[in-house]
Amino acid sequence: MNRFAKKSADRMTAVLERARDYAVPVDGGAAPTLIALAAVDVNPDQPRRHFDEAALRELASSIAAQGVLQPIMVRPVGSRYQIVFGERRFRASQLAGLTSIPALVKTVPDADLPVLAALENLQRADLNRFEEVRAKVHLLAELFGVAPDDVPGELRRLRAQPDEQPERVAAVEQLFAQLGGEQWRSFVVNGLPVLRLADLLRAEVEAGRLAYSKALLIARTPAEHHAALVRRTVTEGLSQVDLQKEIKLLSPREDADTVTGLRQRLTARRLAQLPRDRRAEAERLIRKLHDLLA
């Protein structure tokens, strides 16, 4: 194992070990502390952005009846606390009208916070594709030792020229093997594009109203069609096949039909049948078209 591969492996091993240290114990462990909700702040950089309102209200009803069954985790920041794990329980407790919440208080360095939030969120079954991609990007940023914004470029270079940096490829493969699910090359092709979606499409994906695969289809159409396609897809529940048919209807075929028809009619025999003046004009236009396409 070369220097980069060893350094990357050591870095991720250390992060995963710290994640286990921070994990909320199921049984036993330190007793939670009741903390005022008003003294708790959310993590503004956590990968999860969307919280389903109906699911939150359902959880709030459960909390109102039974209390918070699993404590959240917070870290002290000055005189306040910031959430490490459990923002959904925190929000539901607010909806339930609670004034305090059971919490485990642990000192978490700034450098560990985005990685731990990413790892915790990737264990959630209801993450949308945008949140999942952002979580994986945070882990890859830790692996490469770069800013999250630099990760897409790093991955695309690796995919295009894997033989130039085999140690990085090995480190990325190891990380994705630990995460399970898709392979990293598939992530580059099918995951990273979500970060480049237009604001309208990304918002719908984040809110869970539009499937990521359908957002990609809509993204390939001219921008003026996006709003209408999103509205129809969401309100009418268009399937993938239905959406593809709608998109085909938006793509005019006149140009293609014109070219096909011209190719079929533009033969030496057909030109020879034209009157002299029309044949001369046709030949002039053919030469002009040839020059334009050259």
Instruction: List, in order of start, the domains of the chain with CATH numbers.
Output: 1-196 (3.90.1530.10), 197-250 (no CATH), 260-293 (no CATH)
pLDDT confidence tier of residue 269, bands split at 50, 70 and 90: confident
Identify the pLDDT of residue 130.
82
Flag whether the pTM goes above 0.75: no
- Containing 40, the helix (H) or strand (E) segment is strand 40-41
**Is residue 36 helix, strand or coil?**
strand
Q: Are strands 72-77 and 100-105 parallel, antiparallel or unpaired?
A: parallel
Mean pLDDT, the chain, whole residue set = 81
Q: Is the pLDDT of residue 145 over 70?
A: yes
Q: Is 204 one of the annotated active-site residues of the chain?
A: no
| Integer angstrom CA distances of residue 186 from 156, 181, 190, 192 | 11, 10, 6, 9
Task: Identify the band that residue 16 occupies on the pLDDT scale cut at 50, 70 and 90.
Answer: low
CB-based contact 111:27 (threshold 8 Å): no
Between CA 94 and CA 82 the distance in angstroms is 15
- Kindly name the residue from 17, 53, 58, 87 that is annotated as catalytic: 87
Q: Is the pLDDT of residue 29 over 60?
A: no
% of the chain with per-residue pLDDT over 90 = 24
232: left (phi over 0), alpha (psi -120 to 50) or beta: alpha
pLDDT at 132: 84
Mean pLDDT of 63-86: 89
pLDDT at 268: 79
Q: What is the mean pLDDT of residues 99-106?
A: 91
Reported in sequence order, the residue ranges of 86-193 that DSSP labels E, i.e. its strands, are 100-105
